[in-house]
A and B are shown apart, each in its own frame.
Chain A
């Protein structure tokens, strides 16, 4: 029996299995323990008898039956509410085939959604939400999550325990959603998955391998959710956006570990399979005629990814799309990005004028100064460009960004000396 394959099946089945176990037992720790036990038994049994036709159903059945045994033992020790007991008795006779059928039923998709939604409890800080999702839904070890967020495993363990207690208090109140509630839950989970992706993409610390993994896991979660809710245009947008951004990962860092700007990336290194899928999803989403911010952002990423060289970028389309995005998200960062497109289309003067009023809100936002520096350089004001780069350097850049900025400053200073020679 192939260990790699069983591992892949355990990872793939986990969100569905945990969701089903939460429905039955309403307890995160118990659900996690039961699933882990079932995986251990599966590894042994499948090595002997082969992988069952529906391994997810097998894992759910085995873990649920083990859970029922535990409940029965506890019941002998302490009386359980009569209705819970009845409900559990009813589940007891589920065969694997029944479970397999239930997985395809509509309520199952709400179970998975509920599990993910539980992780985005509004009382949890963003990092706690992401850590909890990685632990529960993805199945990362505490050590892996600690590495991703650059804390010690002990600290992460404490954070997770606290987060679980709070999430559990929410879970107890989560009924099967109505239409409006389902839409709210989907929106919250979409945001959480996007934040998880960005945590990996933004590279604000931690080691590169684990950050790459975070992007991959976010893509997987988006995929799973879209599989369960296949007509949700914003989910298509989310998956497309993650795929398109991630497609550039191989070109974003060069051989010396330095960050390479979009403009200068070797586009042959981009993952064209991901780009093709992302573009397809954008097109499919837009056919729905219900645009949303993720779809528009994905469309922007698709325009960038469709240009064979930086010079071929369709900046007019990008400006138009940022204009559309401003309607959904009236945000200074969106206006900053629109200014970049304007600069490409109509020159640095007009773009710099658009940046002026943003300084109040974006004065501590590093990309604001980087963009300004590039525009000032283009307009020939090298001294002001150097000042803007120095302002960017004071906005807590990552090591890679700091290297990039210092390099630019040195380069421009040399230019300035040549000019004055």
Chain B
């Protein structure tokens, strides 16, 4: 079964960290990726550009419009996500726990349908 680990946090916060702390964060990501790969459970990971690069497309009944955005409701944004193959929620939670904590929080959410890869 496919799960996503959605990573939320304050964009740019990590840039304020000392280089050694930043490196430690990256290392945790690399470790998890290696572990998932070895177990044949790694389907992909994505780090998003800062929200200021994003645009919105929406149609409220007057035709499709392209807008700047997002106009954030809160300072916390989605920073990226993992796509992993797990048998149980418990297993997916274990993977999320292995990611760097404090600087971000993780939402583990099962995938209903996925395609194209």
B66 at the A/B interface (Cβ < 8 Å)? yes
Taking the nearest CB of chain A, how far is it from the CB of B52, in angstroms? Answer: 5
Chain A, Cβ-Cβ closest to B71: A230
Cβ of B73: which chain A residues have Cβ within 8 Å of it? 104
A277 at the A/B interface (Cβ < 8 Å)? yes
Binds B, one of A7-15, A66-74, A91-99, A407-415: A7-15
Cβ of B49: which chain A residues have Cβ within 8 Å of it? 276-277, 280
CB contacts under 8 Å to A, within B53-103, are 53, 55, 66, 68-75, 102-103
Contact between B52 and A9 (Cβ–Cβ < 8 Å)? Answer: no
Binds B, one of A199-207, A220-228, A318-326: A220-228
Taking the nearest CB of chain A, how far is it from the CB of B115, in angstroms? Answer: 26
Chain B, Cβ-Cβ closest to A287: B66
Taking the nearest CB of chain A, how far is it from the CB of B18, in angstroms? Answer: 5
Chain A, Cβ-Cβ closest to B105: A53
**How many of chain A's residues touch chain B, expressed as a range?**
20 to 34
Contact between B53 and A12 (Cβ–Cβ < 8 Å)? Answer: no
B14 at the A/B interface (Cβ < 8 Å)? yes
In the bound assembly, the distance between CA atoms of A280 and B55 in angstroms comes to 11
A4 at the A/B interface (Cβ < 8 Å)? yes
Cβ of B55: which chain A residues have Cβ within 8 Å of it? 284, 287
Known: A4-B17, A4-B21. A226 touches B52 (CB 8 A): yes
Cβ of B74: which chain A residues have Cβ within 8 Å of it? 54, 104
Contact between B69 and A230 (Cβ–Cβ < 8 Å)? Answer: yes
Contact between B16 and A11 (Cβ–Cβ < 8 Å)? Answer: yes
Cβ of B68: which chain A residues have Cβ within 8 Å of it? 230-231, 284
Contact between A280 and B18 (Cβ–Cβ < 8 Å)? Answer: no
Contact between A5 and B102 (Cβ–Cβ < 8 Å)? Answer: yes
How many chain B residues touch A (Cβ–Cβ < 8 Å)? Answer: 27
Q: Which of A8, A236, A277, A287 contacts B16 (CB 8 A)?
A: A8
Q: Which of B12, B50, B66, B69 contacts A12 (CB 8 A)?
A: B12
Cβ of A112: which chain B residues have Cβ within 8 Å of it? none
Contact between B12 and A5 (Cβ–Cβ < 8 Å)? Answer: no
In the bound assembly, the distance between CA atoms of A230 and B52 in angstroms comes to 7
CB contacts under 8 Å to B, within A23-65, are 51, 54, 56
Cβ of A236: which chain B residues have Cβ within 8 Å of it? 52
Cβ of A2: which chain B residues have Cβ within 8 Å of it? 21, 102
Chain B, Cβ-Cβ closest to A57: B75
Taking the nearest CB of chain B, how far is it from the CB of A101, in angstroms? Answer: 10
In the bound assembly, the distance between CA atoms of A8 and B15 in angstroms comes to 8
Chain B, Cβ-Cβ closest to A51: B102
Cβ of A103: which chain B residues have Cβ within 8 Å of it? 75
Contact between B52 and A5 (Cβ–Cβ < 8 Å)? Answer: no
In the bound assembly, the distance between CA atoms of A287 and B72 in angstroms comes to 21
B13 at the A/B interface (Cβ < 8 Å)? yes
Chain A, Cβ-Cβ closest to B22: A4
Cβ of A11: which chain B residues have Cβ within 8 Å of it? 16
Taking the nearest CB of chain B, how far is it from the CB of A58, in angstroms? Answer: 12
Residue of B21, B52, B70, B75 most packed against chain A (CB within 10 A): B52
Cβ of B53: which chain A residues have Cβ within 8 Å of it? 277, 280-281, 284
* Per-position binary interface string of chain B over residues 7-28, scored 1 when its CB falls under 8 Å from any chain A CB and 0 otherwise: 0001111111110010000000
B110 at the A/B interface (Cβ < 8 Å)? no
A239 at the A/B interface (Cβ < 8 Å)? yes
Cβ of B69: which chain A residues have Cβ within 8 Å of it? 230
Chain A, Cβ-Cβ closest to B20: A4
A216 at the A/B interface (Cβ < 8 Å)? yes
Contact between B50 and A277 (Cβ–Cβ < 8 Å)? Answer: yes
Q: Which of B11, B15, B66, B103 contacts A5 (CB 8 A)?
A: B103
Taking the nearest CB of chain B, how far is it from the CB of A254, in angstroms? Answer: 22
Q: Which of A220, A226, A227 contacts B15 (CB 8 A)?
A: A220
Known: A4-B21, A5-B103. A223 touches B52 (CB 8 A): yes
Contact between A8 and B13 (Cβ–Cβ < 8 Å)? Answer: yes
Cβ of A231: which chain B residues have Cβ within 8 Å of it? 68
Chain B, Cβ-Cβ closest to A279: B53
Known: A4-B21, A54-B75, A104-B73. A227 touches B16 (CB 8 A): no
Taking the nearest CB of chain A, how far is it from the CB of B57, in angstroms? Answer: 12
* Per-position binary interface string of chain A over residues 91-132, scored 1 when its CB falls under 8 Å from any chain B CB and 0 otherwise: 000000000000110000000000000000000000000000
Cβ of A12: which chain B residues have Cβ within 8 Å of it? 10, 12-13, 16
Q: List 19 A-B contacts (CB under 8 A).
A: A2-B21, A4-B17, A4-B21, A5-B21, A7-B17, A8-B13, A8-B103, A9-B16, A12-B16, A51-B102, A56-B75, A104-B72, A227-B51, A230-B52, A230-B68, A230-B70, A231-B68, A277-B49, A284-B55
A5-B17, A103-B75, A230-B71 known; 4 new pairs, CB 8 Å cut-off, are A4-B18, A9-B13, A56-B75, A220-B12
The 3 A-B residue pairs with the shortest CB-CB distance, nearest first, are: A8-B16, A4-B21, A11-B16
